Amino acid sequence: MVVGDFPIELDTLVVGAGPGGYVAAIRAAQTGQKVTIVDKGTLGGVCLNVGCIPSKALIQAGHRYEYAHGSESMGITSDKVNVDFSKVQEWKSSVVNKLTSGVEGLLKGNKAEVVKGEVYFVDKNTVKVMDDKNSQTYTFKNCIIATGSTPIELPTFKYTERVLDSTGALDLKEIPKKLVVIGGGYVGTELGTAYANFGTEVTILEGAKDILSGFEKQMTSIVKRKLKKKGVKIVTEAMAKGVEETKDGVKVSYEVKGKEETVEADYVLVTVGRRPNTSEIGLEQVGIDLDDRGLVKIDKQCRTNIDNIYAIGDIVAGPPLAHKASYEGKIAAESIAGEKSEIDYNGIPAVVFSDPELASVGYTEEGAKDAGYDAAASKFPFAANGRALSLNDSDGFVKLITRKEDGLLIGAQIVGPNASDMVAELGLAIESGMTAEDLALTIHAHPTLGEITMEAAEVAMGTPIHIVK
């Protein structure tokens, strides 16, 4: 402690400035609370700086490169498409900088103080905030912890210049000729797809029976078919054993069906999950309950077992999604303000920016049955939609899960172009308690991909127009 370290008193302290933390700080400030938000890194956290935003920028650049080569079926071909990857990276960084500077402006505009430093809890109402030179004590009435997560590092795949986590893969200086991806989840699939679109020879090693676990096989099979068209090799039930760095790259060994194999590449990307950032910040000093995975236990208002401390985002149970963290941040801030907000995860969508995209919200067909619903599944294909055909991108379908007794929409899955945008309408429908009839009676503009939702609703009602029942 430095001389003169007089405690600064706050209504609410937010620890972590990612998509959960900064949203929580803004909403808390809007309710009249005196708020300080602390982060040792850059505003926006993993999502804005080294996750959601830069990865989608890279994916979009890869699509542009792929599209620039044209389509023979449409009569368009080109063999003179070049990539200046340094400019791709500059553009990606410019997108990130616009958003992170925007977050700073939003926090200041809402009168939330921003402090850079590391937080260590002293007790349930006190923290120390430390930087390279100073230590400052803060006392607070309430605290929202939003410290996020970190990529899991495998003991046999320590991160180096050639063994990459997702951050390293986003910052490559050149397009790899060959890339091995360990883990076929959403991060591995998205980044593998992005580089495959640039012409990289990609191999995905997945330990489970299929990639993109959590999504239905009839959805992932369409993604796998498209990946194979791009030249991506997918090896499932493969156990990564180790990596040997060579003069110009890596040699990855793995076991599949009892046989050891090797694959050489310029880099290996390890995407086997993330761990919560709940250690080394003094949570044990406060007595906050964690589960066996290091996740903080919370109630429906994001409150921990310590009544004035809340936790949100990747450090609590559930998928590590930025929009989930933001949603929980609002709930926590409003709960502190005395509002009757509580979490309801049924309307939270899950999206993979694969090719084609995947999106799911609410119950799956199997999940609905497991939950005791007498449910029906109704599908409509992109191939029967005029807009999808005119885009030359007609793989996939929309599937609605409805309750048989009254047609209530309780879930939906989409695989196809723009699934990430289309799922919002279905999330709204679930949140609002709409039925298949409500969706069918909503006039959708023609020709649009949104019509597929209307058509799927008509299938659910037994009165489809553009496919034969």
Q: What is the DSSP secondary structure assignment for residue 443, as one 8-state letter?
A: P
Dig out the tokens for 247 from the structure. 């003069």
What is the Cα–Cα distance from 340 to 237, expressed in whole angstroms?
Answer: 46
Identity at 224, one-letter amino acid code = K
Examine domains 8-151+275-345 and 356-461 and report if their fold is the same: no
* Burial status of residue 174 (CB atoms within 10 A of its CB: 0-12, 13-18, 19 or more): exposed
Omega of the bond leading into 276 within 30 degrees of 0 (cis): no
- Catalytic option among 63, 69, 446, 466: 446
Domain boundaries, the chain: 8-151+275-345, 163-272, 356-461
Identity at 376, one-letter amino acid code = A
The residues pairing with 12 across neighbouring beta strands, listed in sequence order, are: 35, 142
pLDDT the model gives residue 35: 98
pLDDT the model gives residue 3: 47
The CATH classification of domain 163-272, taken from the options 3.50.50.60, 3.40.50.300, 1.10.3720.10, 3.40.50.1970: 3.50.50.60
pLDDT the model gives residue 395: 97
Dig out the tokens for 403 from the structure. 């309750």
Q: Residue 130 region, left (φ>0) first, then alpha (ψ -120 to 50), else beta?
A: beta
What is the Cα–Cα distance from 196 to 227, expressed in whole angstroms?
Answer: 8
Dig out the tokens for 432 from the structure. 């609002």
pLDDT the model gives residue 287: 97
Q: Which of the residues in the chain have pLDDT under 70?
A: 1-4
What is the Cα–Cα distance from 122 to 136, expressed in whole angstroms?
Answer: 12
Omega of the bond leading into 447 within 30 degrees of 0 (cis): yes
Radius of gyration of the chain (CA): 24
What is the Cα–Cα distance from 423 to 412, expressed in whole angstroms?
Answer: 8
- Cβ neighbours of 316 (radius 10 Å): 25
- CA 258 and chain centroid, separation: 34
What is the Cα–Cα distance from 201 to 383, expressed in whole angstroms?
Answer: 29
163-164 and 309-311 beta bridge pairing: unpaired
235: CB partners within 8 A, 6+ apart: 203, 204, 205, 206, 254, 256
Place domain 8-151+275-345 in its CATH homologous superfamily.
Answer: FAD/NAD(P)-binding domain (3.50.50.60)
Q: How far apart are the first and last CA of the chain?
A: 74
12 contacts 34 by C-beta, under 8 angstroms: yes
- Which residue reads 């096989």 in tokens? 217
168 contacts 159 by C-beta, under 8 angstroms: yes
What is the Cα–Cα distance from 255 to 242, expressed in whole angstroms?
Answer: 10
Omega of the bond leading into 356 within 30 degrees of 0 (cis): yes
pLDDT the model gives residue 436: 98
User: Is 446 a residue of the active site?
Assistant: yes
pLDDT the model gives residue 336: 98
The CATH classification of domain 356-461, taken from the options 3.30.390.30, 2.40.110.10, 3.30.950.10, 3.40.718.10: 3.30.390.30
- DSSP labels for 1-17? --TT-PPEEEEEEEE--
